[in-house]
Amino acid sequence: MQDHKHYWLKSGSYNMVLNIQALLFGFGGFYLLVRMLDKHHYGIWTLFVAITTIFEMARNGLIQNALIKFLSEGREEDKPKIISASFVLSGLLMLACILLNISLAGYFSRLWHFPELVNMFLMFNLVYVLQGLLAQFQWIEQANLQFRGILITTIIRQGGYFLYIFLSFIFHWPISLMNLIYVQGLCAALATCIQYFVVQRILFVSYQWHYDWVKKLFNYGKYVFGTFISSILANTINQMMLGTMISPDAAGSYNVALRIASLADIPTNALGTIVFPQSAKRFAEKGKDSGKYLYEKSVGTILALLLPFVLFIFIFPGFVVRIIAGANYTDAIPLVRFVILTFLLNPFIRLFGTILDSIGRPRINFLITIIFTILILTLSYIMIRHFGIMGCVYGTLLADIAIVIVMQIIMYKELNVNVLNTFIYAGRFYPEFLNSYIRPLLRKRLN
C-alpha cells in the first residue's frame, strides 16, 4: 500500500513537471516557428506533424499502458519475457508504420505540391525508430517506480529541439523543414543513449519467442490503441482535409487557432490525470455513487477554471492572435472565436473516457470514440465543401455537441449522472475558492 501511494506521489509530480516543460517547449517552439516560416511552409510542417503524430500515438496506445501494468505487477521471472514481448510488438508495429510511411510519402508530396516531403517522411523513419526505443526504455523505468531518467531524457529531446529553434531565431540562422527533422533525430539519439544507461541494470531481455505474452500485451492494449488512434484522427484528419481541399496555408491557420485555443485546455488535461486514479479507487471502495460525484464535481471545476480564459479569448480574438502568432495570421481570428467554444465541451468528453476506463468500461469508450471520429470527419468534409476553412470549425462544433449529448445519456445510465449538477458545481467553485483561499490569504497578509 505504501509503494502504491509512493508511486502516485512520484508519478503525479513527474507528470506535472513534464506537462509544464512540454507546454513551455511546445508552445515556445510554435511561437517562434510561426515567425520564422512563411505560411505555406508552416502549413506543410503542420500537415507533416499531423501524420507522423498518428504513428507515435499508435505505438503509445498499443504498448505503453500494457507494458507498465504487467511489468509493475508481474513476477520477477516473467519480466524478461514481458520486456521481450513488448519489443516484438513494438517492432512489428513500427515496421508496419514505416512501410505505410514509405508508401504514402510520394502521394502526400504530390497531393500538397511539396516534393521535399518525400525526403522528410523517409528521414522521419529513423527518428521514429529512435523515439520508439526511447519510449520503451522510459516505460520500463516508469514500471519500476523510477522517473528521473524519464524527466532528463524528455527535456533533452524536447528542450534540444526548442533550443535549436530559439538559437535560429536569435542568430537568424536559415531554417528548413529537413533541418527540423535532423535536429529531432539528433536529440532522440542522445536521449535514447542516456535512457539506455539509466535502465540497463533493470533491462532483462529474454531472447526467445513468447507468443503468450505478446498476445496478453496486445489484448490489453487494443482498446486503448483504438481509442488513441480514433482520437488523434479526429484532431488531425480535418487539418489534412483543409490542406487537400483548400491549401496547406489553410491547414496552418487552423493549426494556429487550435494552438491558441489549447491554452485554455490545460486545466482539463491536469485534472484528467488526477481523476483517473481517484475514480478507480473510489469506485472500488464506494461504488457508482462516488463515480457520479467525481464526474460532476470534476467537470464543474474545470468549467469554472476554463470560463475566464474562454471569455477573454472569445471577446478579444484579434488581440490574442496578434500577440501569439503575429500579423501574418489575421485569417485565424474568426477561427479562434469558434474553436474556443469547442473547448468548453472538452471536460465532458475527456472525463467521460477517464471515468469509463476507471470503472472497467473501456469498450464503451472505444466505440464512442470511433463514432465520434466518423461523425467529426463526415461533418468537417461536408462543411468545408460549403463554407471553406470555417466549415472545419462548424463541423467540429456540431460533432462535439452531438457526441456530448450521447455521452451524457450513457453517463446517466451507467452512473446516474445529472448534467445540471456540473453547472451547479461550476457556480459554487468561485465562492468556495474565494472563502477557502483568497480571504484567508488576505487575512494572513493583513495580520
What pLDDT does 13 receive? 58
Give pLDDT tens digits along the chain (447 positions): 444 445 445 555 566 667 677 778 988 999 999 999 999 999 999 999 989 988 888 888 888 878 877 887 778 888 888 889 889 999 999 999 999 999 999 999 999 999 999 999 999 999 999 999 999 998 888 877 777 888 899 999 999 999 999 999 999 998 999 999 999 999 999 999 999 999 988 887 777 778 888 888 888 888 777 777 777 777 788 888 888 889 899 999 998 988 888 777 665 555 544 444 444 455 555 556 667 877 888 888 888 888 888 888 889 989 989 998 888 888 888 898 888 888 888 888 878 877 776 666 777 877 888 888 888 889 988 999 998 889 988 998 898 899 999 999 998 988 888 989 989 988 887 887 777 666 776 777 766
Instruction: Judge contact between 122 and 105, C-beta under 8 A.
Output: yes
What pLDDT does 16 receive? 61
As given in the structure block, the three cell numbers for residue 335 are 477561427
Give the Cα separation of 300 and 253 in Å (integer): 31
How many domains, in total, are found in the chain? Answer: 2
Angstrom CA distances, 90 to 62, 95, 198, 438, stand at 8, 8, 20, 50
Half-sphere exposure of 355 (CA within 13 A, CB side): 28
As given in the structure block, the three cell numbers for residue 277 are 486514479
| 74 and 34 within one domain | yes
As given in the structure block, the three cell numbers for residue 248 are 496547406
What pLDDT does 196 receive? 94
Q: Which of 228, 245, 262 is the last residue of a domain?
A: 245
What pLDDT does 11 receive? 56
Instruction: Judge contact between 61 and 217, C-beta under 8 A.
Output: no
Instruction: Judge contact between 210 and 85, C-beta under 8 A.
Output: yes
Instruction: Judge contact between 241 and 392, C-beta under 8 A.
Output: yes
| 184 and 273 within one domain | no
| 214 and 111 within one domain | yes
| 193 and 93 within one domain | yes
pTM score: 0.81
| 416 and 290 within one domain | yes
| 280 and 406 within one domain | yes
As given in the structure block, the three cell numbers for residue 441 are 490569504
124 contacts: CB under 8 Å, gap ≥ 6 = 48, 52, 101, 181
Give the total residue count for the chain: 447
| 318 and 266 within one domain | yes
As given in the structure block, the three cell numbers for residue 243 are 490542406
**For residue 405, which of 419, 416, 393, 421 has the smallest C-alpha distance?**
419
Q: Which of 196, 225, 245 is the last residue of a domain?
A: 245
| 355 and 308 within one domain | yes
| 232 and 261 within one domain | no
What pLDDT does 96 receive? 92
| 382 and 293 within one domain | yes
Instruction: Judge contact between 240 and 50, C-beta under 8 A.
Output: yes
Q: Which of 245, 261, 276 is the last residue of a domain?
A: 245
As given in the structure block, the three cell numbers for residue 225 are 490503441
| 71 and 213 within one domain | yes
| 215 and 114 within one domain | yes
What pLDDT does 280 receive? 45
Residue numbers of the domain that contains 234: 1-245
Q: Label residue 191 left, alpha or beta by phi (over 0 means left) and psi (-120 to 50 means alpha).
A: alpha
